[in-house]
Amino acid sequence: MYELFEHTADLGLRIRAADLNQLFADAAQALFAALVNDLTGVRLIEQRHFSIEEDQLDYLLVDWLSELLYRFATEHMLFAAFDTQVSPQGLTAVARGEPLDPSRHELGHEVKAITYHGLTVGRSNAGWLAEVIVDI
C-alpha cells in the first residue's frame, strides 16, 4: 500500500507493507503512479531484470527507485508490476510493463530525481514503513 503526499516543491511517497519485499515492490509502484496518471492502463508485456548491491536499506531503496527512474528516462519504460527479493546484500527484481505510448498513457508528475531528504525505512507496528521524497 502506498500514498503520495505533498512536500513543499517536491512529492513524497509513503509506503506501508507487511514485509520488506512488498515494501520495495510497492515503492516502485508508487513511483510509477506518480509518473503516469493511470497505472492500470500499463500493459505487462515486457520485463526487465534488476540486481542492486547495497547493504543499507534506505540507500538500497533510493538506488532501486533511481534505477527505475533512469529506465523511464532513457528507455521510456513504464512499469506497473514488480517482483522483488531483498537480502542483506541488496535486491534482485523483475519489473513488468511496456514502453510509454503517449496516445494511451497520460503522464502525471515529472519526477527529476529520488532524494535522500526525509528518507526513512524501518519497521512499524504493522510491518514496514518507508518515506521517500522525490524532486519534481
Q: Is residue 7 pLDDT above 70, yes or no?
A: no
pTM over 0.85: yes
Q: How far is CA 31 from CA 20, 76, 89, 125, in A?
A: 17, 14, 23, 24
For the chain, the straight-line distance linking the first and the last C-alpha, in angstroms and rounded, comes to 22
Would you call 40 helix, strand, or coil by DSSP? Answer: helix
- Name the average pLDDT for the chain: 94
- C-alpha 29/C-alpha 35 separation (Å) is 10
Give the pLDDT confidence score for residue 106 in this predicted structure: 95
* Average pLDDT for 4-14: 76
Q: Which residues contact 131 (CB under 8 A, 6 or more apart)?
A: 12, 13, 14, 15, 118, 119, 120
pLDDT-based confidence at 134, cuts 50/70/90?
Answer: very high
How many residues in total does the chain contain? 136
Give the pLDDT confidence score for residue 6 in this predicted structure: 64
- Return the C-alpha torsion angle 124, 31, 54, 91, nearest 10: 90
Give the pLDDT confidence score for residue 126 in this predicted structure: 85
Share of the chain above pLDDT 90, in %: 86
Of 1-10, 25-34, 49-58, 109-118, minimum mean pLDDT range: 1-10
What is the residue extent of each domain of the chain?
A: 2-135
Q: What is the CATH number of domain 2-135?
A: 3.55.10.10
Tell which residue, 17, 103, 93, has the closest CA to residue 51. Answer: 93
Give the pLDDT confidence score for residue 8 in this predicted structure: 64
